[in-house]
């Protein structure tokens, strides 16, 4: 088939993104949050309370016209500050009995992104990831070098430094001891990675993800959360995505970017792109995904037993699972 025919096919296909820019948006803004996918079929009462608080804050910010990027950062900070998720306070222990945290933030306007991996002292990894995006020419800083980078923000209230024990909670300590006693490897079923995707009233998308990784993980292991394209992606032309689950699956299949690519190159809808990835037998991807497109359509899917999640938009939708 020649190029002209292809063009006709694309133009005539009545599918996203051809229409996406022609029809009225379904919402002025939209926001989705996840608190990790895993064995539990729904989030506990404690998690739901924090999800509600985070969602309400996000909605207020968006109603006030604040940016998707600011909203993503603020919402994730709330989840990081709560002990009920595996991000910031409440992060799991690694095999060494300490905490290593990862986070990424991405701006759909120009694909600019920043991430930190294996950090040990920044109270809010998502805010340090944003500093990497705005203040350096880099996109990913890890381990000791990233901790050193954090030190230069001693005066910045958003980059508070804490002793590593700050992140510990009794629950995570028990989980760590239990897994250690069973001599199991990293626990792949611990829920609690957090993420947020937002469409703001200015028509901009943003995404962010933050995690403590796998419980009892090998020291130095990075999953998909600090990798733009794997666990997080945002592009105004397609969608904003945040993933949770077996990080290795999301890296080797470049899942977050793949959703964007399927929309851009194959005119798949956000929903069918995600459904296809999560049901793929040849290249299994185990976990959950939240995403939003420029129309304000929210998709939250998972192939685990459950995913802690919440969503709201300017039509009044507000749900917490």
| CA distances in angstroms from 99 to 35, 69, 262, listed in the order given | 18, 26, 36
Find the part of the chain contacting a second copy (CB under 8 A) among 11-19, 60-68, 171-179, 301-309. Answer: 11-19
Helix (H) or strand (E) holding 301: strand 298-302
End-to-end CA separation in angstroms for the chain: 47
Mapped onto helix, strand or coil, the DSSP state of residue 103 is strand
Neighbours of 251 (CB within 10 A): 16
| CA distances in angstroms from 114 to 7, 27, 300, listed in the order given | 36, 28, 24
Write down the least CB distance from residue 223 to a second copy, Å.
Answer: 8
Binding mask 184-203 for a second copy (x = CB under 8 A): -xx-----------------
The reply to whether 219 sits near a second copy by the rule CB under 8 A is yes
Q: CA-CA distance, 185 to 46, in Å (whole number)?
A: 28
Catalytic entry in 193, 209, 211, 244: 193
Q: CA-CA distance, 111 to 67, in Å (whole number)?
A: 15
Q: Choose among 74, 99, 71, 72: nearest CA to 87.
A: 99
The reply to whether 275 sits near a second copy by the rule CB under 8 A is no
Residue with tokens 């419980």: 215
Residue 218 annotated to the active site: no
Which of 52, 158, 221, 321 is close enough to bind a second copy by CB under 8 A?
221
Which of 12, 157, 163, 316 is close enough to bind a second copy by CB under 8 A?
12
**Subset of 99-138 contacting a second copy (CB under 8 A):** 106, 111-113, 117-118, 136-138
The reply to whether 283 sits near a second copy by the rule CB under 8 A is yes
Q: Which positions touch a second copy (CB under 8 A)?
A: 1, 6, 9, 12-15, 106, 111-113, 117-118, 136-149, 185-186, 217-223, 227-230, 233, 247-248, 251-254, 257-258, 261-262, 265-266, 283
Show which residues are catalytic. 193
């Amino acid at each position: 088939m020649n190029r002209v025919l292809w063009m006709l096919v694309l133009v005539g296909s009545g599918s996203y993104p051809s229409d996406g820019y022609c029809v009225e948006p379904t919402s002025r803004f939209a926001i989705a949050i996840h608190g990790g996918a895993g064995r539990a079929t729904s989030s506990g009462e404690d998690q739901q309370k924090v999800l509600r608080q985070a969602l309400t804050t996000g909605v207020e910010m968006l109603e006030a016209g604040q940016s998707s990027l600011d909203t993503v950062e603020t919402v994730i900070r709330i989840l990081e500050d709560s002990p009920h998720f595996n991000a910031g306070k409440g992060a799991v222990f690694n095999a060494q009995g300490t905490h290593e945290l990862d986070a990424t933030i991405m701006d759909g306007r120009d694909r600019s992104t920043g991430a930190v991996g294996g950090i040990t002292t920044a109270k809010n990894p998502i805010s340090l990831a944003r500093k990497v995006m705005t203040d350096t020419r880099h996109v990913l800083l890890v381990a000791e070098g990233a901790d050193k980078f954090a030190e230069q923000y001693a005066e910045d209230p958003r980059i508070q430094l804490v002793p590593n024990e700050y992140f510990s909670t009794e629950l995570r300590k028990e989980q760590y001891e239990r897994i250690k006693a069973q001599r199991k490897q990293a626990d792949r079923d611990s829920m609690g990675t957090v993420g947020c995707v937002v469409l703001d009233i200015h028509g901009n998308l943003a995404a962010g993800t933050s995690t403590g990784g796998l419980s009892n993980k090998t020291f130095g292991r990075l999953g998909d959360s600090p990798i733009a394209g794997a666990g997080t992606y945002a592009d105004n032309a397609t969608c904003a995505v945040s993933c949770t689950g077996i990080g290795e699956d999301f890296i080797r299949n470049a899942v977050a970017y793949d959703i964007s690519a399927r929309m851009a190159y194959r005119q798949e809808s956000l929903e069918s792109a995600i459904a296809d990835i999560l049901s793929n037998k040849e290249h299994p991807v185990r976990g959950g995904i939240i995403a939003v497109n420029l129309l304000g359509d929210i998709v939250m899917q998972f192939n685990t037993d459950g995913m802690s999640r919440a969503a709201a938009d300017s039509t009044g939708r507000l749900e917490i699972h």
